[in-house]
Each structure stands twice: as structure tokens, then as C-alpha cells.
Chain A
Amino acid sequence: MTELPLIGEAAAAADASGARELAGARIGVVTFPGSLDDRDAARAVRLAGGTAVSLWHADTVLADVDAVVIPGGFSYGDYLRAGAISRFAPLMSKIVDAANSDAKLPVLGICNGFQILTESHLLPGSMIKNDHLKFLCRDQVLRVENNSTMWTSDYAAGQEITIPLKNQDGQYIADEKTLDALEAEGRVAFRYVGFNPNGSRRDIAGISNAAGNVVGLMPHPEHAVETGYGPESNAGTDGLGFFTSVLNKLVGGAK
């Protein structure tokens, strides 16, 4: 049986392999009431070699972070619409401003985080109930359509990755004009391959903003960062690239 790296060892290995300077990059992970995957996102940041900083939705200042992950979960129970209430959190307006500013704060929205980003109009379109109406948890194959964003640069264009998908309201919709524009501008970041798990328009799994600093997707890269705790295909670590991408970009940018 293959040896599985432990969290502690993997972090040490990242350090040993010269990734130490990345530890300087501070990636904020926002917790809303009802967030679920915040600790997982923080672990992914650590495993990628960065420093995870927890951010609280009610904070009115954005702590000194170099990037932000808005994690998955059911913020405010998803009761009204997924992301609808969280969007109005004090910290969200800071994040929106920073993402749109010249500094172009990198922001990754995963699942509920993606829904919050669309509700905040940082990303176009919206999510409605899965076409089959059920919660669905599965290992999902995605194609990386755009590897020039802050969060995808460590992938090859067209690379297929497998990461978990798990949601009830994951059907991405936007009007035809918006969809055409997204395609034309290369802002479709990920597409479902083989099976469209929720009826999303044009098999879209994730998109980015025009500048490429804001990325949102429904599947969960933070659940595919450690062998033995993610999908069984490959090493189960196909999601790690999201976090190393932003860390490398940040370090590259700082140099």
C-alpha cells in the first residue's frame, strides 16, 4: 500500500523543497456563519506552502492578506438563495473593493464562495438548483480552459483534473449574451468533462473576471490536496494547483 503523506510531513517537505519563501504569502480564508470548508481551505493553503489567515465575515477591515479564499458551505443556511445574505457582510464590501482595485486582490470562491461572488456581482451569472434537484457528491473531472488566471497558472491549458463536487444549487446560468462574452474573453476557466452534473450552461464549472484575479467554481479543489483524503483517481491531489498557482504568482509578482 502506498505511503500517505501526513499534513505535518507534507508541509515540511514543501519547506525543504525550496517553497519556504512562499510561506510569506498570506492567504485569507473567510468564515461566515454556516461556512463549512473554511478549515479545509486553510489546510490547502498550508499544504501548498502558504500561510492561512482566518478572516471573519463581520470584520470591517481586510487584514493584511495577499489573497482571499471564500470557502464552501451553507452560509446562512443557503435558505434564501445560496450566498444571498453573506454577500452583504461587512468584509465582503472590502473584498469587492480590493478585487476591483488596481491591486487586483486575488479572490477564489469555491462552491458557496462562488455563489457569494455572483451575488456580489464580482462574477456574472448565478447558480440555481441542480437540474436533478438533489444534492450530489461525486469525484468530478474538469478541464482547465484558462490557465492564465491567478488561480490556474500551475495547470496546463486543457489539463483534465479530478476534484470533488458537492452541492445542491450548482447549476450555472447566465443569459446567452453573457455566456458568449465569457467564451469570447476566455473567461470560462473550467468545464465539466464527461458528465454535466447539474445542468450548467455550456458545461461551465467555473469562471473568472476579466482581469483573471477573481475565480469562482462549484467543485472543491481544497478537498483534493492530500493523498488519501480526496478522490481516488490520480494521487487525489489535483486541487493543489489552485493554491500553488496563486502563491507562485504572488511571489513572482513581488520579485
Chain B
Amino acid sequence: MTISADAVNKKFNIDTVENAAKTPDTELPWAELGLKQNEFDEVVKVLGRRPTGAELAMYSVMWSEHCSYKSSKNHLRQFGEKVTDEMKKDMLVGIGENAGVTNLGDGWAVTFKIESHNSPSFVEPYQGAATGIGGIVRDIISMGARPVAVMDPLRFGAIDHPDTARVMHGAVAGIGGYGNSLGLPNIGGEMVFDAVYQGNPLVNALAVGVMRHEDIRLANASGKGNKVVLFGARTGGDGIGGASVLASESFDDTKPSKRPAVQVGDPFAEKVLIECCLELFKGSLVEGIQDLGAAGISCATSELASNGDGGMQVELTSVLLRDPTLTPGEILMSESQERMMAVVTPENIAAFEAVMDKWAVEYSWLGEVTDTGRLIITWDGEVIVDVDPRTVAHDGPVYDRPYARPSWQDSVQADSFTGSVQDAGRPSAPAELAAAVTELVASPNMCDKSWITKQYDRYVGGNTAMAFPDDAGVVRVDEETGLGVALATDANGRYTYLDPYHGAQLALAEAYRNVATSGAVPMAVSDCLNFGSPEDPDVMWQLAEAIRGLSDACMVLGIPVTGGNVSLYNQTGTTPIHPSPVVAVLGKLDDVARRTPSGWKEDGQAIYLLGTTAAELDGSEWSNLRGHLGGLPPKVDLAAERALGEILINASRDGMIDSAHDLSEGGLAAALVESSLRYGVGARIALEDLLERDGVDLFTALFSESQARALVAVPRSEEVRFKDMCTARGFAHLRVGVVDAAGGQLEINGVETLSLDALREAHEATLPKYFG
């Protein structure tokens, strides 16, 4: 059904620029739209008059926290500043575009980004999570890339809270429902349960895409006379909820019809959009392209225009609508999904339309690129927006929000797990230790995640070389050479709560380690900073510290942040979530056939533990199981992480190891069990030398979460070479056991022998027990 906005526009008494100039004293609902007095005053100053209703709509959404990063911008700068030339070497497109692009060599490039869809996923978990996948995938398409995989770091409330099942079922089904329908394999993610996320779950989504260098596209509108086109789904009243106060922009009594409280995703429309965009790129039919996400047309027009070399003029009644009652301001703000905007030269119009028709995608020509430097939007010919697009897209307010180390931080850090009430009766007898290992691997955060991952397609595309439960997801990029990428996402809200600076670094270190464990060379970082309210000085300090920590650590590890997302106001009432900087690291494998899986297979191979173990139980999963959170997180040693990474990468490249699994949450105990269960092959482990060398007891050796450690299985024939390499690099390595293919059990000296069947049962029973 074609609803022409033109047919209904007469019922709006449109607030034109001319009208605005004549009626400076008109009351505008800027406060309802979320602008502060100083921000509204700034708009008036920029324009030299009061804004029209439509302009107010644009400024209010584009100057929101979500779009303008006004609280975080001053801190985020560090990601751009703390970079060496060496780090920039492979960065083809950096922060600022829809997603960063990294050079993979051989003419290949890769783009990836992580984003949040937290609050929509609490309101309506299925659709919130689904549209989260949809949004991040459009960012990837708009760079000119073919999306090739997705990941989903998740954080929900307590596993046994009655509302958690609702969120879990909905979000996982939504991520699967959308991602599976797009033909994108899910190659990894996270699942953390913690009561702090009860009223504010975190649903982050990552997408990765690949392209040839020549296909890289940027969001800019250049070339006077080039046409501006909107294509994909029709525009409805999605995501403008409270903004219906804008009805007053029409100074009309006709009430707008109801606006959707929730957005419903249409993965089929998006899949068609992907193919259709790739066909456009292949034919070089678009000059610039931009996805429509938050702030919809406001964002797309102002960003395209301000990144280009001129201006832009568009006619808003040409927008195809799903809801004919939308006012101009609402059309500008609408966040309807599955839409794209592009700039097309006049010569390419016919070819562009042929692609649209082939895929049965609706489109409408909205206007053209000009050389005026202004973004002019008309409604049936009357000018309703006349702005410098930079003032909308880039010159939003920036705040130096006050922050200070929270008054409670010292006492939290002083409250170590060791010696606490919760530490009473620490397991030490063989039977107690066996029970503790079993309890750990069955715990909500350490249990098997296949209840989730079996709802995701991991095979589609035929290029998935690793996914759940390995440390990193690995996708082949080039079928001829085997060139591929590895990705991991990590965050530890508990560590970051105890120490935001180091906690953020630990998130990076873990993702880096996971990527290196797979055999890939870490290359780039994307991050999604999930925090509470920036207006709370405690939270603002956490954010500032986390960004400082992350950017410092990137420098040391030599990998740049290429993009990301900030999600603030994650809190219930005045209680913020744990600061949760989710860090994604991307690495490169020259040949994915060389990837290293996380479990051992071959009987008799030597098992080595790389790195050293200290008594670091604060913030650990063990302390979590005992209900304790205090002290200091494990020590960060980025030089050691780098050295470990090099060992794992070289060992993989030279065929010195057959399996590698890094140590993270749950420490050595978790790693031993996971490496055994991976292929159902057990091991005989003796930790006496380790206890002696590192001066720790058996319990600590098993449950401490010291960093920069990994467990590898080395074929007998490679043992000398492997040890020599570690020695030459001065990296601690210790033979802790052998693979035992026949026994079906995990034998650890001093721990009652654990049967793999029993471990597997405990490990796999948890999620089904709570979620069916």
C-alpha cells in the first residue's frame, strides 16, 4: 500500500523556517525531548533563531547521550591519541566511521564492531535482542563489507530469579531468530549471571564483515547533483515513543496515532538488504552509504552531509511511510529498522533502480547533494530545516562530567576474600577439592553454554573453523589461501568493580589471550562500554578509569581501538550495574587450518602450563560462588600477555602444539575440565612442581585466576623444541601432566579422581535445569 505523505501533509500546519523566524517566542517542548536549557540555548545560538519543530527533533536526538557521546567524548579521545604509527599500520579506517576497517593483506580487509541493545532487550527480550543484531549488521554493510559472523556477549540477572528466564529465553531466541535468518554464523559470545544485571540486562552484539580494499565505502555525500535515496523498509513511528510531544510542531489539535513502544525486526528484509547492497557495491553504484540506526534520517542526512564536501537538500514528503500520520519531526526521528540511505550519481540511477527491483526492495529518491554547505529539508516544498549539518552531527554538547574515586572503593578493596567469613572451611582434602571442582564447573557462569549455542546456526557460510566452545571464533575469509580471522569478546564486571582501570585492562587481556590461544595474531579492538549514569560521579570515575586503562593497555599490546559503543544509564533506580567494558579483539590467521582447538585428543601428549600462579582469589568465580566480592583483581602483566601470545602463535604456526586453552575465570580447574570435556579425553595431572615453584597450595593452584596463563598439549616429538622456545623467551613453563585417552577421567594428584561422565553431567545440567 502506498501512502503518500503528500496526500496527508495538508493536515499539518507545518512549522517552517520562515515561520520560526517570525515567531521567536513560540514555546517549544525541548525539555520533553531531553534537551537541557543550555543545550536549547546553544541550538538557538547556532541557528540565530528558534528552531522549527523539525529542527528541534533533529538536534534533540542527535545531541542525546546515545548519539553525541557527550559524557564520554572527552575520555574516548584517548583511543585516538594513544596510538603509535606501528598500531596505525594496518588501520584502513579508524574510529569515527560506522565501523573501523583493518587490513588483512592480499587485498582483503575486515571490519567489526560491537554495540549494545540493553534496555530494549529488557522491555521485549526477543525483539530487543533481534534488532540489536540487525543494527550492528547494518553498520558492517554500510562499510561496503559482506557480514560473515556475529557474536553475542550477554549478562543477565541471577540465574534463579523468576524474571531471568523471560529475558534468557527471549534474548537468545531473538539473537538466533535474527542472526540465523541472515545466514550469519554465531561464533561466540559470553553468558554471565549476576544479580546486578537483574533490572538491566546487557545484550551486546558484535558483527564482522569482510571486503576487498576497493569495496570500502564511507558515509559521505559528495558531488553536487548526486541523488540521495532511502531504501529498504518503510518508515514507521518506531523508537519515537515519548517524542510524540512533537505533535505540537504542527500546532495542530489532531492527535497523532499511537506510536509503537517496541520495534519488531524483519530479518528477511535485512537479508535482502545485505544482498542488494553487495550488488550495489559490486557494480560501484553508490558513492556514499549510511545505515539508519539511532536517530534515523536525522542522523543519516546530517552525517552524510557533514562528512561530504557540500550540503544536501531533501524533500521529506517523498519518504515512504508505514504510518501516514507521522509528522515531519517524527519522520526525522524515526528509528524504523532495515533502512539504508545512499548517494548515487545521476548516471547510475537506472542501474541502482534495477538492483532494487530485482530484490523487490522499496526505495524513494529524497533529494540531492548540493554545494551550499547547508542541510535543507523541505516538506512539500516548504523549508522546515535549514542547518549547517556539522552542528547537528558533530558539534553537539560535550561535558566534562565531574568524577571522583568513590568513597567506598577503599573499603571494598581492603576486603580480601582470603580470610573472609566466606573463605571459612576452604576445601583441602582430596574429596573436598573434587567436589569444589565439580561445583565450579556446574556453576551458572562456568557451566556449559550449549543450551544457548545450539539455538544458533554455526555452519552457515561454510567458513566457520571454530566457534563454541573454543576460546575464539574463527572464520575463513579466503577459500584459496585459508586466510581468516579470529574473534573473542570478554569483560569481567566483578574485576572492573574492584578496580576499573585494571578491570578494563583485564578484559582486553583476556580477549587478546583468547585470540592468541586460537593461533591468531591480535590486530584490532572494538569495545562496548556498559556503565551506569554518567551523572553519578562514582560511575563517571569508573568510566574514566576504564577508558584510561583500556587505552593504556592497547598501547602496550600494540593493537588499536577501531570503533565501539558507549551505553550509559545502565542501572536500576540509583543502583548501577557493575562497570562492564566488553572488549572484542580481532586477530588474523594466515591459514585457518593452523588454528588451535581448546581440547586435547592424542594420548600421551605432554600438558604444559604456561605462566605463573599467585594467590589471586579476589573477584574470582570461586569467591563469587561463596558470595564474596572484594579485594583487588588479579594483577595485570601486559608484557607477559604479549610474550604468552607470541608463544601460542608461533607454536601454532610451527605445529608445536595440538591444543591450547587459556586460563581465565575459574582458573586452572576450569581449564583442565574444559580441555578434557572438549573431546571427551582425560588427563593425568601432577601439580607438585607448580606448588613448589610458585609457593601456592593445591586449592590456590586450581582456583586462582592469575593472568597470562594457558594450558597446552604438546606432541612428544615437539616437546624439546617447544621447551626451548619458552626458555629462549624466558617464559615460565611447566609440564603438569599427560593426556590420557583411555581412562575417561581427570586425575589430579591430591584431588579425588573425577570421571569425565560425571563432570560432563554436572557441567551440562545447569542451564537446562533453569531454562528447560
Q: Which residues of A contact B (CB under 8 A)?
A: 1, 3-4, 6-8, 33-34, 36-37, 39-40, 43, 58, 73-74, 76-79, 134-138, 164, 166, 168, 220, 222-223, 225-226, 228-230, 232
Contact = CB atoms under 8 A, between A and B. Distances in A.
B268 A6 contact: no
A166 B184 CA distance: 13
A139 to B, nearest CB: 9
Contact of B480 (A8, A79, A134, A222): A8
Interface stretch (B362-370, B454-462, B579-587): B454-462
Given A77-B181, A136-B454, A166-B457, A6 B462 contact: no
B479 A36 contact: no
Best-buried of B267, B462, B482 by chain A (most CB within 10 Å): B462
Contact of B476 (A1, A36, A137, A229): A229
A164 B459 contact: yes
A238 B271 CA distance: 29
Output the residue of A6, A138, A220 with the most chain B CB within 10 A. A6
13 contacts: A6-B480, A7-B479, A34-B268, A43-B479, A74-B181, A74-B268, A137-B453, A137-B457, A166-B180, A166-B459, A228-B592, A229-B465, A232-B679
Given A6-B479, A77-B268, A220 B459 contact: yes
Interface string B231-269: 000000000000000000000000000000000001111
A168 B592 CA distance: 30
B530 to A, nearest CB: 27
A136 B455 contact: yes
A138 B456 CA distance: 9
Contacts of B132: none
A222 B479 CA distance: 16
B290 to A, nearest CB: 23
Interface in B250-309: 266-269, 271-272, 275
A32 to B, nearest CB: 10
Nearest to B169: A134
Contacts of A4: 482, 593
B481 interface: yes
A39 B460 CA distance: 9
B113 to A, nearest CB: 22
A40 B464 CA distance: 12
Nearest to A46: B479
A195 to B, nearest CB: 12
A166 B360 CA distance: 27
B655 interface: yes
A41 B364 CA distance: 35
A249 B285 CA distance: 43
B318 to A, nearest CB: 25
Given A1-B658, A36-B271, 17 more contacts: A4-B482, A4-B593, A7-B480, A34-B268, A36-B181, A37-B183, A39-B462, A40-B462, A73-B183, A74-B180, A74-B267, A137-B453, A223-B459, A229-B462, A229-B465, A229-B476, A230-B459
Contacts, number: 98
B461 A77 contact: no
- Best-buried of A1, A40, A228, A230 by chain B (most CB within 10 Å): A1
Contacts of A37: 183, 460
Given A8-B480, A77-B267, A137 B462 contact: no
A6 B481 contact: yes
Interface string B141-179: 000000000000000000000000000000001001100
Given A6-B479, A39-B461, A138 B454 contact: yes
Interface string B438-471: 0000000000000001111111111111000000
B464 A229 contact: yes
Nearest to A33: B272
Among B360, B454, B457, max chain A CB count under 10 A is at B457
Contacts of B481: 6
Nearest to B474: A228
A220 B359 CA distance: 26
A57 B679 CA distance: 42
Nearest to A77: B268
Contacts of A40: 460-462
A6 B482 CA distance: 7
A34 B271 contact: yes
Contact of B455 (A34, A79, A135, A225): A135
Given A7-B479, A223-B462, A137 B593 contact: no
Interface in B459-518: 459-465, 476, 479-482
Contacts of A33: 268, 271-272, 275, 359-360
Nearest to A165: B459
Contacts of A3: 593
B455 A8 contact: no
Given A7-B479, A77-B181, A135-B177, A228 B465 contact: yes
Given A34-B271, A37-B460, A77 B266 contact: yes
B282 to A, nearest CB: 14
A36 B462 CA distance: 11
A222 B268 CA distance: 22
Contacts of B456: 135, 137
B163 to A, nearest CB: 20
B648 to A, nearest CB: 14
A222 B459 CA distance: 10
Contacts of B463: 229
B453 to A, nearest CB: 8
Nearest to A227: B593
B544 to A, nearest CB: 41
B507 to A, nearest CB: 28
Given A6-B481, A229-B464, A36 B183 contact: yes
Contact of B173 (A39, A73, A134, A222): A134
Nearest to A136: B454
Contacts of B458: 137
A164 B460 CA distance: 10
A8 B465 contact: no
Given A6-B482, A33-B272, A34-B181, A228 B460 contact: no
Interface string B319-362: 00000000000000000000000000000000000000011100
Contact of A135 (B180, B480, B592): B180
Contacts of B455: 134-137
B94 to A, nearest CB: 31
B428 to A, nearest CB: 38
B655 A1 contact: yes
A240 to B, nearest CB: 13
B582 to A, nearest CB: 24
A98 B465 CA distance: 38
A124 B482 CA distance: 42
A76 B268 contact: yes
A27 B460 CA distance: 20
Given A37-B460, A229-B464, A229-B465, A137 B454 contact: yes
A136 B592 CA distance: 26
Nearest to A76: B268
Contacts of A8: 479-480
A217 to B, nearest CB: 15
Contacts of A164: 459
- Of B456, B459, B460, most buried by chain A (CB within 10 Å of CB) is B459
B173 to A, nearest CB: 7
Contacts of B359: 33
Contacts of B272: 33-34
Interface centre among B173, B359, B360, B454 (most CB of A within 10 A): B454
A89 to B, nearest CB: 12
A135 B176 contact: yes
Nearest to B462: A40
Contact of A228 (B275, B453, B459, B593): B593
B308 to A, nearest CB: 32
A232 B681 CA distance: 14
Given A74-B181, A137-B454, A36 B460 contact: yes
A222 B183 CA distance: 14
Nearest to B459: A223
